[in-house]
Amino acid sequence: MLDLLMLAADNPVDHVVNHAPEWGKTAGGLWWWSAHVGTLILAGLLTVITMLFAASKIRTGPESQGAARYTTRNPFAHMIEVILLYLRETTARPLLHGRTDTFMPFLWTVFFFILFNNLLGLVPIMDTFHLVDKIIGQDVLTGLAGSTATQNLFVTAALSIIAAIVINIAGVRELGVGGYLKHLTAGTPVYLWPLMIPIEVMGTLIKPVALALRLFANMTAGHILVAVLFSFAVKGVGMLAGDGGLLGAPISVVSIIAAVAIYFLEIFVAFLQAFVFMFLTTVFISQLAHHDEHEHHDEHGHEHAHA
């Protein structure tokens, strides 16, 4: 136990970052398997299994059930349904209007895939594997799965690339190629195009970058905070056991209470960041598609203002 406590005195970031097992690396140093890969696959499986279960309970029942055929037959599926409806009716429809049903499958998938990844990051899978490895004296499980995949910038970048592709394809479909290119001029006179087009292109690229960085930063910061607080608690216990005296007790107690509080906050953040990613993707889709319309409204607004 003391060994574990002493080991905990290392950098708390080590508990948060991705790990690769020895067998998961090539000779060239490429990580072909790491904890985040395992977590991504696990999150994907959980997302599919959970949503299949929810769909089986939400689906309209046989006519023999009468009016009861329209009710959801499981509390958990009911919770999923409430989330789905909230995302569709309150978040997406006010922005996408008639195109809501087209994009909802993608947006729902984005939300639940990120949510399951975020939540899996709160389950100490990697640390448990490491503990088992310690007990059995081998190094086979550490790095198999665990940690939060959405705090890996490459993972959030991949999700943002997918979002960017959908956003821009939606823009081209809505505006047409000509309209999409015209959107890059922001409706400015021709002599301003050399300035505006680069700015608009940068804006198009920055949006997914912002999506990736926001998710990565929020998930990383919270998990590092939890790890730091837990490391304080363990250090306090180490002080009690060593020559630090009784000062270790209050440090441990306060740190554990704070860590538990932050842990619960992280559960909320897991939902919030999944929602933010999905919501911003929706906003970007709607902005690109309705750019000219907004300008048109703005022009009218200016005319009214001048009048």
Partner 1 sequence: MKKFAFALASLSLSSAALAAPESGEKAGVLPTMLQGLVPMIVSLVVFGLVFAVLAVKVWPVIVKALNERESKIRSEIESAEMARQQAKAALDQYERALAEARAEAQRELEKAKSLQAAQLAELKAKNDVAIAMERDKAMREIDASKKLAIQEIYAQGAALSTAVAGRILQRELNPADYQRLVDEAVAGLGASKN
- Restricted to residues 42-71, the positions that interact with partner 1 (CB under 8 A) are 43-44, 47-48, 51-52, 54-56, 58-60, 70
Q: Is residue 137 helix, strand or coil? A: coil
Nearer to partner 1, 8 or 96 (CB): 8
Shorter beta-carbon distance to partner 1: residue 85 or 195 = 85
Q: How many residues bind partner 1 (CB under 8 A)?
A: 91
Query: Segment contacting partner 1 (CB under 8 A): 37-45, 241-249, 284-292, 298-306?
Result: 37-45
Buried b (16+ CB within 10 A) or exposed e, 84-119: beebbeebbbebbeebbeebbebbbebbbbbbbbbb
Min separation Cβ 142 and partner 1, Å: 5
When asked if residue 251 is in the footprint of partner 1 (CB under 8 A), the reply is no
Interface of this chain with partner 1, residues 255 to 274, rule: CB under 8 A? 256, 259-260, 263-264
* Nearest residue (CB) to partner 1, 69 versus 300: 69
Locate 164 and state its tokens.
Answer: 């960017």
The tokens 């920055």 sit on which residue? 206
Interface segment toward partner 1; rule CB under 8 A; list 29-37, 193-201, 283-291, 297-305: 29-37
Residue number with CB closer to partner 1 (36 or 291): 36
If one asks whether residue 288 binds partner 1 (CB under 8 A), the answer comes out as: no
Binding mask 181-210 for partner 1 (x = CB under 8 A): ------------------------------
Contact (CB, 8 A) for 240 and 249: yes
Q: State in angstroms the smallest separation of the CB of 18 from partner 1.
A: 4
For residues 59-75, one letter each, b for 16 or more C-beta atoms within 10 angstroms of the residue's C-beta and e for the rest, the string is eeeeeeeeeeeeebeee
Give the ranges where 121-152 is alpha helix by DSSP (H): 125-136
Confirm or reject binding of residue 8 to partner 1 (CB under 8 A): yes
Instruction: Find the binder of partner 1 among 27, 29, 245, 304 (CB under 8 A).
Output: 29
The rounded distance, in Å, linking the Cα atoms of 191 and 197 is 11
CB count within 10 Å of CB 82 equals: 11
The CB-of-5 to partner 1 minimum distance in angstroms stands at 8
Part of the chain binding partner 1 (CB under 8 A), chosen from 18-26, 187-195, 283-291, 296-304: 18-26
Q: Closest CB to partner 1 among 152 and 218?
A: 152
Among 73, 74, 78, 106, binds partner 1 (CB under 8 A): 106
Q: Does 158 bind partner 1 (CB under 8 A)?
A: yes
Q: List the one residue from 73, 131, 196, 240 that touches partner 1 (CB under 8 A).
A: 131
Q: Is 15 in the site for partner 1 (CB under 8 A)?
A: yes
* Separation CA 109–CA 165 (nearest Å): 15
Q: Which two tokens stand for residue 287?
A: 């902005």
Contacts 24+ apart (CB under 8 A), 213-218: 213/153, 213/156, 214/273, 214/276, 214/277, 214/280, 215/114, 215/150, 215/156, 215/159, 215/273, 215/276, 215/277, 216/150, 216/151, 216/152, 216/153, 216/156, 218/269, 218/273
